[in-house]
Structure formats: C-alpha cells, structure tokens
Amino acid sequence: DVKVTQSSRYLVKRTGEKVFLECVQDMDHENMFWYRQDPGLGLRLIYFSYDVKMKEKGDIPEGYSVSREKKERFSLILESASTNQTSMYLCASSLIAGATNEKLFFGSGTQLSVL
C-alpha cells in the first residue's frame, strides 16, 4: 500500500524558531510537493521537486525553503517561524518525473501552530 508519511500530526512552535517538517514516501516516486491549506484559501503550493537535489518555487515560497537530499524524503524548512505560517501543511508525491497529470498521494498533514 502506498504511503506518504509526515513526521508530526501536530506541532507547536514559537515565533522565530527554525522549524523542520519532514515527509517520506515509500513508493519510489520522483515528484514531491509541499502545500499549505488554510480555511477559505484552499491548497496553495509552496515548493516542489521533480528529482533529487532539484527544487522549484511554487506560488507562495516566501519564508520557506526545502531540501531533497534523498529521493524518498522532502523536507520543508521555516527559517524563522512567524504567526502567519500557522497552517495545515500537506506533503504529496507522484510517480513520473515532471509529469503533473497524474494522481497525487497526500500525507496525513501537519497542523503547525506558531505562537
């Protein structure tokens, strides 16, 4: 069974902290994505990666960075957390490198609260 695992379901951090959100997929997928989901704003793409060591900015990359050192792991980094980064963060993956017309598999999400 396919699986995208996000390391934490709930996370509480303080303003200014450096925050790491981890995502691991066990399906040998090439593509990985980070979205945030806020009420009334829907799913918005933060960063994505079509290959190891490769990363591309999505629609709202400001205040975030990512790391993909291994194919199965895609980390989202909040360099200095701010209250407006309180959100549900969803990681997703898909199979074929660069193909964006295929099914996305989502992790269960991390609800991050920045106080």
Partner 1 sequence: QKEVEQNSGPLSVPEGAIASLNCTYSDRGSQSFFWYRQYSGKSPELIMSIYSNGDKEDGRFTAQLNKASQYVSLLIRDSQPSDSATYLCAVNVGNTPLVFGKGTRLSVIA
**Contact footprint for partner 1 (CB under 8 A):** 33, 35, 40-45, 48, 58, 90, 98-101, 103-104, 106-109
Shortest Å, Cβ 68 to partner 1 = 15
Q: Cβ closer to partner 1: 14 or 103?
A: 103
Report which of 64, 2, 55, 63 is spatially closest to residue 33, judged by C-alpha positions: 55
Shortest Å, Cβ 92 to partner 1 = 8
Q: Which residue has the tokens 């993909």?
A: 68
Per-position DSSP letters for 40-98, written without gaps between them: TTEEEEEEEESSTT--EE-S--TTEEEEEEETTEEEEEESS--GGG-EEEEEEEESSTT
State which amino acid sits at residue 66. Answer: V
Q: Cβ closer to partner 1: 41 or 115?
A: 41
Q: Cβ closer to partner 1: 27 or 45?
A: 45
Shortest Å, Cβ 61 to partner 1 = 13
